[in-house]
Structure 1
Amino acid sequence: MDGLAASLTVLDYAAVAVFGATGALAAARRKHDIITFGFFAAVTGVGGGTLRDLLIDAPVFWVARPEYLMVCLAAAVAVWVFGGGRGRGRLLLWLDALGMAAYTSVGAMKATSLGAPPFTAIVMGVLTATFGGVLRDVLAHEPSVLLRRELYVTPALVGAIAFVALNALAVPLGVAGLGGFLVAFSIRAGAILFGWKMPGFPGRPPPED
């Protein structure tokens, strides 16, 4: 169990830092001040994990451990200092992909460690991975990740399923978590590099009023 706790902690901090950076980068695109950078970073960094913990009736992870918020603020400062160059949008995409993949495994692993059934663990993986990005886009007045046909929720779903499947095969939880991360990140990377999309509904669009 100590190995699981260590794996969860490392992935959790990494996901919070990366997602916090994406929140700060979104603030940078809107040319907000440093306070807004920190707010965007904190909301994005801990948003998905907060929703997960509330739904599985677990103590909200950052309330007793404010260092998670400090990691978000450090990410915001780093973006403020170093994130002013070109390619900011591309960096946001790749950091978001890393954060999404890490949080997919973190969410599913934590739910599993608390005794959640497999389907619930998959849902928690998806919600943990995507909710912070949704909040970020709402705050930054950007098109929501959920409304894009480019693959975003799908990588999280497949990654969470991969974790649950590996766990059912008695693969060590840390290895299963890494497997879920790699699956989610690989699919998201393919979407970024090659424009992979889910097929849309084949019906005609509704007529204009």
Structure 2
Amino acid sequence: MKVSPALLALLSGAILVMAAPVEETPAPPLPPTLYAQPAGKIKVRFEGKSFLLAEEFKPAVTRLLGEANYAKTREFYLSVRRSLTEKILLEAKIRQVESLAKGANDRLENLRAKHVELKAKLLAMRLDPEAFPDADLDSYVRLGTSIAATAAQIDREEELAASAQGKFEDMRLKVEPALQAARKLSDDYLETLKAYERPITELRELAVAKGTAL
């Protein structure tokens, strides 16, 4: 069964979506868990370890957790993941349209090469008939017909190739702002993640340096 180039491109686009590598966006690590203890002390637990801090460190612990703001960072992370999914789909659409344009251009180049080959053969037959002892008048007619038919195919394929290339350029220009926005959102999130991790790291260092391991 013959499959049309358009259907092949659609299938290729679907495969590209499934096969496209998922860009890793690191999730914000969970903040340390705090437990109130007798005498105003605080138990800080993170990564399976627990430390007991004196009451005097409670303001610092509260401040650092407030600066981290896990809920806001997590919400930002989820929005980036949604944006990333949309970005992957847009890129797959671009590759699909680009594949159609490339296929049309490849067919055009093949037809042009065939046309040159047929014309060269006809010229050779005319210049050196003895090299083609089996050629008769019908052979010349068939070859001339093939040359004309190929030229007509080239004209049609040039229109298709130009149309496909135009659609690719239009699609690329149309989605580029969305792709740029997705990239910027991802960059902004990475900066937010760094800002989130700084107080978390300070809190862990405080627990290790000033706390008592449990």
TM over 0.5: no
Q: Which has the higher strand share?
A: 2
Task: Tell me which structure has the larger Cα radius of gyration.
Answer: 2
Q: What's the TM-score, normalizing by structure 2?
A: 0.25
Q: Which has the higher contact order (CA 8 A, sep 6+)?
A: 2
